[in-house]
Structure 1
Amino acid sequence: MNPSTDIHNLRQRAILAKANRQKTLIDKSRGDIGKMTADEIQTLVYELQVHQIELVMQNEELINTQQSLRKSENDYTRIYDLAPIAYLTLSQKGLIQQANIAATTLFNLSREKLFNQRLEKLIHADDQDAYYLFFRNMLKEQPSSYLTIRITNANQYSDNITITYLELKATVVRQENNELIIYLVLKDVTAHKVMEDTLDCINKKQAIEINHQHSDLLNRQDLLNLKTAEIQDLHQSSYKLKEASAHIFNVSSEGIVMLSLLGVIESTNPAACLLFGYSEAELLGMSFNQLLITPLFSKSSINLLQNSQNNIASSYRVEGLHSNGSIVPLSLSLVDFTLEQSEHFAIVIRDNSLHLQQERLEKAHLAEIANMTRLSLIGSMGSGIAHQVNQPLTAISNYSQACIQLIKAEQPDLTKLSEVLSKTYEQAQKAGKIIHRMKDLASQRTTSRTMTSIDTLIENAVNFCAHECYQDNIQVTLELNPNIPKIAMDSVQIEQVLLNLIRNAIDALKEQVKESDKTISIQTQLNKGLEVRVKDNGPGLTDLQKEKILMPFYTSKSSGMGMGLSISRSIIEAHGGDIKFNSKLGVGTTFYFNLPIHGESL
C-alpha cells in the first residue's frame, strides 16, 4: 500500500472525528448549556478557539494565494508584452482578442485597431486561401501546425509598401464553456526568406557556371581519358598520377607557373611561354617580377600572402610585359602550397585582352546610344534652339543697320560706331557659343572627363529650354549651393542628363489642364557627394509608370524612343552615382541623382 495514501486517509479520519466531536458539543450547547459540565464547556470553548484560529489561518492562506496569483498574472502580462516574439489570441470566429507589443509593432497597428479585427484582412491577398484552410484545420483541433504567409505594411512616411513574411504556429485550447481559443505565435522570417531566395539565385548561377565548365571539361575529357589509360597500363604506381598532372599542366590553355617563396620561376607550361614570348629555358630561374610592369613580390607581400591565403586563391589584375616590349593585360590567380616541406606559389595566368576589348565595345555602344538620344533631344527642342540663335542674329542685324547709319553721316561718330561694333561682336560671340554647344551635343565623341562646375551645366540646360518654358508659362527656379566644388565629369553627358530631366518635367506640366503655377525647381546640395534635384508640380506618376519609368524603351508620350531616362541612368552609374525619383499623384515628381566628389581631376 502507498504510504502517502495511508497518511492522507488518517488525516481525513482525524478531521472527520474532530468535526463530529465539535458537532456533538455544539448540539449540547444548543439544548441546554446549563446541563453541560464545566469540563465540557471548557472543551467547547477550546474547540471553538482552535476552529477560529484555523479559520484565521485559512483566510491568511487564501489572501497569500490571491496575492501570489495576482503577482503571477502581472508577471505573465509583462512577459507576454515584453516578449520579442509576436503573440495573438483569436476567438473561435477568427477575431483578434489579445495582442502583445511585438504583434502591434509587426502589424504597425495599435491594440485598439487590432481588437476584434479578422486576421485575414491583414494578410496578403494571395495567401488568404491558405490561411482559410489553416484556420479551418485549427477549428478541427488538429495538432500544432505551421503556415508561412505574407502581410503588407504601408510606410506612413512614404508611398512604399513593404512585404513581411510570417511563420504562424497555432495552438488550440477548448475552454470550460466549450468555446475554442486559438493561440498564435508569429515569427518574422523575412530575412530567412530573402536569404533563401538569394541562395537559390546563387545556386542557379553556380549551376549554370558549373554546366559551362563541365561542357568545357568534357571537350578535353576524351584526350585526358586516353592518356590516363595509357599511363595506367604502363605504370601501376604513383608515377602515373604525376604524369597526368604534368600533362594537364602542359596542355592547359591558361598559363601556369610555379614559383619559389621569393618569386623565382621554378617551372612553367607552354601557354605561359606563349603569353610572355619567352622559351621555357629563358623563363626558368627568372624572377616573376621581371614579367610585370608593377612588381608583385616583395618580402612584405610574401609574408602577407603566406599568412592570409590558407590555400585559397587570390585574384589580381596586372599588366604583363611581353618579350617584344608590348604590354599585356593579365588576370592572375595565386595560391601558396607546401611541397616536400617547402613553401611554393602557383599562379594561373589569363590573357585579359578580349575582356578589356569587350568593355571598350560596351562603352562605345553606350556612347553611340547616348549620341542618338542627344540627337533626338535636340530635334525635339528645335523651336527653342531656333529662338536662342535668332535672338543674337536679330541683334546683330539691328546693330549692323545702326553702323551703316553712323557711317553715312557727314561726320561719323567713331566712338559711337566703336560701341555699336563691340555690341555686334558680343552678339556674334553669343551666337557662336550657342552653335558650339549644339555641336558638342550633336557630335559623335569619346568620353572625356574634366573638372567642371555643375552650376554651369545647369544654367546651359535651362537656357536651352527657356523658350519652351516661356511658351508654356512654366516658371523655372534655381537653388544652387555655392559651396559645391568642381568635380570630374563628362560635361556633355551630364548636360544631356539634365536636359532629359528638365524636358520630362516640361512634358509633365504640359499635361496639366490648370495653366497657372506651373513650376520647375532645380536644386543642388552636398549629401555624401553632389546631389541634383529636378522637381515639378505636374500630375505625378501612376504605380505602373513608377515600375517602368527607368526601363529601356518605355515611354508614356505619343512620340519618343523611351531611352532618355535609361541612358541617363547608365551615364550617372558610369560616373559612380545613381539616379532615383519620388512621385505622388496630383502633387508632382522629383528626379534626383548623386555624383561622387573627387579631390583630383581624372
Structure 2
Amino acid sequence: MNQSPDIDNLRQRAELIKAKHQDQLLNQAYPDITKMTGDEIQALVYELQVHQIELEMQNNELKSTQQELSKSQQDYARIYNLAPVAYLSLSQLGTILQANLAATTLLNTPLCGLLGQRLEKFIHIDDQDNYYLFFHKLLKDPSSPHLLSGITIANKSTHQLDCQGLDIFHCPHEECPTNRALTYLELKAVVDKQENNEVIVYLALKDVSTHKILEDTLACLNNKLLNVIKNQRTSLTQHRQLINDKTSELQQSHRTSTELKDISTHIFNASSEGIVMIDQLGNIESSNPATYLILGYSEIELLGTALNELLITPLFTDLSVELLSENSQSSSFRVDGLHSNGSILPLSLSLVNFTLNQTSHFAIVIRDNSLRLQQEQHEKNHLDEVAHMTRLSLIGSMGSGIAHQVNQPLTSISNYTQACLHMIKAEQPNLNKLSEVLTKTYDQAQKAGRIIHRMKDLASQRSTLRSMNRIDASIESAVNFCADECYQHNITMTLDLTPDSPVIALDSVQIEQVILNLIRNAIDALKEQKNAKDRRISIQTQLKEDLEVRVKDNGPGLTKVQKEKILTPFFTSKPSGMGMGLSICRSILEAHGGMIRFDSKLEVGTTFYFNLPLNGEKP
C-alpha cells in the first residue's frame, strides 16, 4: 500500500527548513575564533549547545509525529483490509489499484490476481454495456454512483435456496432462478481527483445475490400463480357443482342417520336384555324397559343412580374407570345385583367404552343369569345321575373281577386267622410270631376295606365335588380295578406318568370313571384280537398347554362307521352295551373344561386322549 500524501508533504517542508537553516549558518559572519576571548568562546559554545538542544527537540518531535502517522497508516490499512465490506480502488481506465480482503473473498481471486486487472473482466457479458455506461457516466458526473450488476466468479457453486415452485408447479430445476451460478453485486462509487489531476474511483461492492434471486423467484411464482388462477376458473365451477352434489349427499345421509337413530331407539327399547348408559362417574344416564323388568325399578328411580348401588360388589372405582377408558374393546363381568325387592340376582355385564362430545361414556348390557344358572344346575344334576347309572353298569360288568379282588384279601384273612388259632392253642405261644401274623391279617383287612370303599364311591349317587388333586391317584386306582381282568386275558398294562404332575381342580371319582371306561373299552377290544401273546395297553400323561392323558391299545382298531359314531349317545359295538359310556365321558370332561379325542387305524390300534386345563378352579 502507498504512503499517505500528508507524510510526503511534511518531509518536503522539513527538508526545505533544513536547507534554509544551513544557508543562514553559512552566511552568518562569525569572528575569527583565534581572536576571540575566552568569554566569547564560552558564549559561542553555549549558543551552539542551545541550538543543538533545539535541533534534538525538533528531531524528537518529528520522530513522534512520524510514529503517529505510521500507526494511523497501519490502523487504516488494518481497517481497510479487515472491513466486512468489499472495497476496490480503480484508475480512470477501470484498472484495479487496491483491493481489501473482503474483495478478494467476494471475487474468489487472490490479491495478486486482482491488481492490474480491469474490473470489467469479472462483469457478466449480459451486463457489460451497463457497466461501461455506468463507469463513463461516473467519470463525467459523479452524482450517479450506483449500479446493480451480475458477475461471473470461477469455481462458485449455485445458490442453495429453496423454491416452493419446484414442488407446487413441478418446474424443471435447471430453469429455476435459484439454479443460477451468477453473483449479483451492488456497486457504489466515489470519485477522487488527486493533486496531479489523477482520478481514482473508490468502489464499495455488496453481494445482493440472495435478494436478487428472491425477487426473480417471486416474480416467476407470481406469473405461474396467475396462470394457475386462470386455469382454475373451470375447475372451480366443477368443484362448485361437486360441492352441491356432496351437500345433497350429506343431507340424504343426515336423513338416513335420523332414521337409523329412530330405529336404534326402537331396538334399544325393544331389546330383551337390559341396556344402560352411564357417565364416567358410573351414574346412569338412560336405560331401556328390559332393565326395569330385570332390576324392578322404574325409569325415574334409575335415572342418575350410581350403578354401584345396584351391585353387591362395586364395579366402578377410580382405577377401574381409568382402565376401562384406556380399553376400547368390550369387557365382560359376572356380578351379583340387587333387585328392588332385596333379592340377589346373578348378572352378566358387558361394557363398551365410547366417546361422545369428547367425554367418555359406557354402554352396559345387563343379562339376568338366573334361568341360565338353573338350567346349568339341572344339566349338572342330570349328568350326575347318568354318570351314576353308567358307574353302576360299569361295576356290574366288572363284577367277577371285583369279586376276585375282594376274595383275595378275605382268603388271606381266613388263613391268617386259622394260623393265629393254632398258635394260641400251643402251651407256650410265640407272641412275636403271633403279632406278625395278626399284622398281616390287619393289612389284608385294610386292603379289602379300601376296595370296598372305592366301590362304594363309584356306586354312590353324589353331586359333583371338585377338589385340588393330582390325576395320578385316579389313574392308579382305575388300573388296580382292572388288574385282575388284564391278568386273566394276558394283557400287559404299562404306565408312563409325568413326574411331579401338577395339582388341578377335578372330581376324582368322575375322572376315575372316565379312565376306567377307556381301559375297559381297550380290554374289550383286545379280547377280540386273535393273537393272545401280544396284548398291550399303555397309559401316558404329558404336560403341554394343559394336562393330556392318553390310553392306547394295539387292538383291531375302529372301522369308518365306528369312527363317525363312536362318541354319539346310544351307539355301541358290544352286544350288551348301552352306548352311553363314551358319551358320558365326553360330558364329564367338557364340564371340567376339557375335551376327548381319538385316533385309530385298523390292525394297528386305537388311542383315546383327553385334556384337562391346568388353571382350573373349584366350582
Structure 1 residue 416 corresponds to structure 2 residue 416: no
- CA deviation digits over 1:14-47, x for unaligned, max 9? xxxxxxxxxxxxxxxxxxxxxxxxxxxxxxxxxx
Q: What is the distance in 2 between the residues matched to 1:256 and 1:584?
A: 54
2:317 corresponds, among 298, 311, 314, to 298
Q: Distance in 2 between matches of 1:515 and 1:376?
A: 27
State whether residues 487 and 601 of structure 1, in contact with CA within 8 Å, keep that contact through their aligned partners in structure 2.
Answer: no
Please tell me whether the aligned partners of residues 540 and 583 of structure 1 are also in contact (alpha carbons under 8 angstroms). yes
Give the TM-score normalised by the residue count of structure 2.
0.53
Deviation at 1:475, TM superposition (A): 1.6
Match of 2:587, as an amino acid?
A: S
Q: Give 1:528's aligned residue.
A: 545
CA offset at residue 317 of structure 1? 3.2
Pairs aligned (count): 362
Q: Could you tell me which residue of structure 1 aligns to residue 278 of structure 2? A: 259
Instruction: Kindly provide the amino acid, as one letter, of the partner of residue 446 in structure 1.
Output: S
SS of the residue corresponding to residue 357 of structure 1 reads: helix
Distance in 2 of aligned mates of 1:598 and 1:336:
30
Alpha-carbon offset, residue 519 of structure 1: 1.6
Offset from partner CA, 1:416-471 (integer Å, 9 cap, x none) = 22222222221111111111101111111111222223222222111111111121
Partners of 1:248 and 1:454 lie apart in 2 by 50
Q: CA deviation at 1:295?
A: 2.5
Residue of structure 1 in register with 2:590 after alignment:
573
Q: Give the whole-Å Cα distance in 1 for the aligned partners of 2:361 and 2:616.
A: 42
Where does residue 375 of structure 2 map in the other structure?
358
1:228-274: per-residue Cα shift (whole Å, max 9, x none)? Answer: xxxxxxxxxxxxx9999999988876545443331113455665455
Q: 1:440 to 1:354 in 2, by over 3 A?
A: same
Any idea what the Cα deviations from partners look like across 1:399-432, whole Å, max 9, x if unmatched? 1112222222223333322222222221111111
**Alignment of 1:547 onto 2:564:** yes
Q: Helix, strand or coil: the match of 1:477?
A: strand
Q: Secondary structure at the match of 2:608?
A: strand
**Alpha-carbon distance in 2 for matches of 1:343, 1:533:** 52
Listed one character per residue, the Cα deviations across residues 482-510 of structure 1 (whole Å, up to 9, x for unaligned) are 23233221111111111111111111111
Tell me the amino acid that sits aligned with residue 384 of structure 1: G
For the structure 1 residues 341 and 429, does the alpha-carbon distance in structure 2 shift closer, same or farther, using more than 3 Å as the test?
Answer: closer
Spell out the pairing of 1:34-433 with structure 2 (5 A cutoff): 254-267=273-286, 272-273=291-292, 275-276=294-295, 283-303=302-322, 305=324, 309=328, 316-322=333-339, 325-334=342-351, 344-433=361-450
User: Which residue identity does 1:296 align to in structure 2?
Assistant: L
Aligned residue type for 1:412: P
- Secondary structure of 1:459's counterpart equals helix
Aligned to 1:490: 507
Residue 522 and residue 347 in structure 1: after superposition, are their counterparts in 2 closer, same or farther (change >3 A)? closer
Distance, in Å, in 2 between the alignment partners of 1:252 and 1:459 is 53
Aligned to 1:136: none
CA distance in 2, matches of 1:532, 1:259: 48
User: What SS does the aligned partner of 1:439 have?
Assistant: helix
Give the C-alpha shift of residue 379 in structure 1: 0.7
**CA separation of 1:336/1:481 partners in 2, compared to 1, >3 Å: closer, same or farther?**
closer
Aligned pairs for 1:421-460 within 5 A: 421-460=438-477
Cα deviation code 1:347-396 (max 9, x no counterpart) = 44332100111111122222222111111111100000000111111111
Change (3 A) 1:302 1:552: same
**Whole-angstrom CA distance in 2 between matches of 1:498 and 1:272:** 47
Change (3 A) 1:373 1:302: same
Question: 1:532 & 1:333 partners in 2: Cα distance?
Answer: 36
Report deviation, 1:597. Answer: 2.3
Secondary structure of the equivalent of 2:461?
Answer: coil
Q: CA shift at 1:288, angstroms?
A: 0.8
Deviation per CA, 1:329-360, whole angstroms, max 9, x where unpaired?
11335456777887654544332100111111
Cα distance per residue 1:522-546 (max 9 Å; x no partner)? 2222233322222212111122222
Which residue of the other structure, out of 463, 470, 492, is the alignment partner of 1:475?
Answer: 492
- Do the aligned partners of 2:494 and 2:539 also contact (CA within 8 Å) in 1? yes
Secondary structure (helix, strand or coil) at the match of 2:531 reads coil
**1:512 Cα deviation from its structure 2 partner:** 1.4
Partners of 1:457 and 1:579 lie apart in 2 by 17
**Could you tell me which of 573, 579, 582 is aligned with 1:556?**
573
TM-score when normalising by structure 1: 0.54
Q: CA–CA distance in 1 between the matches of 2:488 and 2:295?
A: 66
Residue 554 of structure 2 is matched in structure 1 by 537
- Hey, what does 2:612 align to over in structure 1? 595
Distance in 2 between residues matched to 1:552 and 1:396, nearest whole Å: 44
- Residues 327 and 353, structure 2, Cα contact 8 Å, conserved in 1: no
1:466 aligns with 2:483: yes
* Counterparts in 2 of 1:585 and 1:354: CA distance versus 1, 3 Å: same
Measure, in 2, the Cα distance between the counterparts of 1:427 and 1:451.
Answer: 30
In 2, the alpha carbon distance for the partners of 1:348 and 1:477 equals 53
Cα distance, 1:381–1:347 mapped onto 2, change above 3 Å = same
Measured at CA, do residues 416 and 331 of structure 1 come closer, stay the same or move farther in structure 2, by a change above 3 Å?
Answer: same
CA–CA distance in 2 between the matches of 1:318 and 1:327? Answer: 10
Identity percentage of aligned residues:
73
How far did 1:480 drift?
A: 2.3
Larger Cα-atom Rg: 2
State the secondary structure of the residue aligned to 1:515. coil
Q: Please give the secondary structure, in 2, of the residue aligned with 1:411.
A: coil
Deviations 1:106-148 (A, max 9, x none): xxxxxxxxxxxxxxxxxxxxxxxxxxxxxxxxxxxxxxxxxxx
Letter in 2 for 1:473: N
Q: CA RMSD in A?
A: 3.3
The 8 Å contact of residues 451 and 487 in structure 1, kept in 2 or not, is answered as: yes
Secondary structure in 2 aligned to 1:483?
Answer: coil
| Distance apart, 1:473 and its partner CA | 1.5
Cα 1:335–1:461 change in 2 (3 A) is closer
Letter in 2 for 1:591: F
Contact 1:520 1:534 in 2 (8 A): yes
Distance (Å, rounded) in 2 between the aligned partners of 1:349 and 1:540: 50
Partners in 1 of 2:345 and 2:587 — Cα distance?
29
Q: Secondary structure at the match of 1:482?
A: coil
Please name the residue that 2:34 is paired with: none
Amino acid aligned to 1:321 = L
Q: Which amino acid aligns with 1:291?
A: L
Cα 1:279–1:412, aligned 2, differ >3 Å: closer, same or farther? farther
**Structure 1 residues not aligned, in runs of 5+:** 1-240
- 406 and 326 in structure 1: CA distance in 2 versus 1, 3 angstrom threshold: farther
Does the 8 Å CA contact 1:329/1:351 hold for their aligned counterparts?
yes
Contact 2:285 2:303 in 1 (8 A): yes
Counterpart pick for 1:502 among 500, 503, 519: 519
CA distance in 2, matches of 1:555, 1:565: 10
Q: Is the 8 A contact 2:274 2:290 kept in 1?
A: yes
Q: Specify whether residues 299 and 587 from structure 1 end up closer, same or farther in structure 2 by C-alpha distance, changes over 3 A only.
A: same
Question: What's the CA shift string for 1:308-337, capped at 9, x where partnerless?
Answer: 55xx97654322133565421113354567
Structure 2: which amino acid aligns with 1:362? E
